[in-house]
Amino acid sequence: MAKVVLAYSGGLDTSVAIRWIKEQYNLDVITVTIDIGNARDLSAIAARAEKIGSVKALVVDGRDDFVRYFVWPALQAGAIYEGEYPLATALARPLIARLLVDIAHAEGAIAVAHGCTGKGNDQVRFDVAINTLAPEIKIIAPVREWSMTRDNEIAYATEHHIPIQVTNASPYSVDQNLWGRSIECGILEDPWAEPPEEVYDWTANPDLSKLSSEPPPEPTYIEITFKEGIPIALNGEDIDGVTLIETLNKLAGGYGIGRIDHIENRLVGIKSREVYEAPAAVVLHDAHRALEGLTLSRDQARFKQVIATEYAHLIYNGQWYSALHQDLAAYVYSTQRFVSGVVRMKLSYGHCIVVGRKSEYSLYNHSLATYDSGDQFDHNAALGFIKLWGLPLTTQAQAQLLPEISLNGNLLKGPVN
């Protein structure tokens, strides 16, 4: 029988999908459950897949690859979607697509399958990545194809003796990996409603008045060492990427750092309310940005913001495997050559701030910056500089604008007057 490789999370949708694909498409289902730091009992999930009827249940540890090839490049790029979302879910999709395709090739499967709905970004990211990497492979998306409600699915599962756990079903849809936790649905669909405390799992309530421990925890200082834009040590000790992210998620999460409440523009044209928990991502982006502040020139830093925005969009929009990405990645790589050094951060309840940074490639020059003795900045040179810098403005003001420059600098007879 021909085979399909299904990305299997162990949840209701993909559990029902094992049986449904077999029935509808007459294919042998191989499941693959990928660990990208989403903390589940993977061998129990694989055992369940076999019980439901998969011919083979694979488990893949994708954590190192996720951090090395997806998270770190996004961190170096400064990729944050719409200024808020560090892109945890979006970054995992091209990795999962790559693994599905590789396994399909290795197993001689004709198709791959995923559990995305027809309304979100994830289906686009999966399908575009899979079609790009392996145009000959067919894509099956059961949840997009079947028209079952949740109750229908439960009935289907009962009828086909599919073991599922739907007791105290949560109203929220949650996706999580090392880089963050994404929560949607339920009351969150009301953009005016404050997210109830129950949606959070990784972060303590940053509201001091709700704190159970008395007195509140003291602030903590941490030092993160970067080499060419990649964090390599915590408090002076070398640390691998996965452990660093796990450690920071726990530590900063314990301070209530990393909660994000975002009205987001989805690729498919709708606005949606998304809540994220991303303690490590928030801390590391802040730290990385601070080190760039010391090591990139003004012009590099300004232009890199343009690239960061584009980079975030291409990740969000499912264009990871594109020539544009290769081009931007080459640029980002070049910018990171001197982004090496140490950033000191203070974590206190509800927020983190950068309090120190140093680098052997620092562009900060104390004798140029100081107002104390030892000042080597040429104050006289400033006069000539100001004259030439302002020359176009003073020229134009005299020739055209002088009678019209009002108190706030706008035209006298503007629409505000």
Binding residues vs ligand ARG (CB under 6 A): 89-90, 121, 173-175, 182, 184, 264, 274
User: Which regions of 186-340 does DSSP assign to beta strands (E)?
Assistant: 220-227, 230-234, 237-238, 259-265, 271-277
Q: Which is nearer to ligand ARG, 153 or 184 (CB)?
A: 184
> What's the min distance (Å) between Cβ of 307 and ligand ARG?
20
User: Is 40 a residue of the active site?
Assistant: no
Q: Does residue 173 carry a catalytic annotation?
A: yes
Q: Is 189 exposed, middle or buried (0-12, 13-18, 19+ CB in 10 A)?
A: exposed
* Catalytic position from the list 9, 13, 54, 289: 13
At its nearest, how many Å lie between ligand ARG and the CB of residue 158?
Answer: 24
Query: Shortest gap between Cβ of 174 and ligand ARG (angstroms)?
Result: 6
User: Does the CA dihedral 285-287-293-296 come out positive or negative?
Assistant: negative
Measure the CA–CA gap between 299 and 335, rounded to whole angstroms: 11
End-to-end CA distance of the chain: 77
**Active-site choice (28, 35, 102, 173):** 173
Assigned token pair, 122: 């994830």
Nearest to 252 by CA among 299, 220, 225, 226: 220
Cβ nearer to ligand ARG, comparing 76 with 121:
121
- Exactly one of 19, 63, 93, 98 is catalytic; which is it? 93
CB of 322 to ligand ARG, least distance (A): 17
Residue 101 DSSP SS3 = helix
**What is the number of helices (H) and of strands (E) in the chain?**
14, 14
The sign of the dihedral angle between the CA atoms of 136, 141, 144, 146 is positive
Q: Known catalytic residue: 13?
A: yes
Q: How far is the CB of 370 from ligand ARG (least distance, A)?
A: 46
Q: 34 or 90: whose CB is closer to ligand ARG? A: 90
Q: Could you tell me the two tokens for 128?
A: 């575009």
User: Is the CB of 87 or the CB of 104 nearer to ligand ARG?
Assistant: 87
What are the DSSP E strand ranges found in 43-171?
56-61, 111-113, 138-140
Give whichever of 88 and 345 is closer to ligand ARG, judged by the CB atom. 88
Q: Residues with catalytic annotation?
A: 13, 93, 122, 173
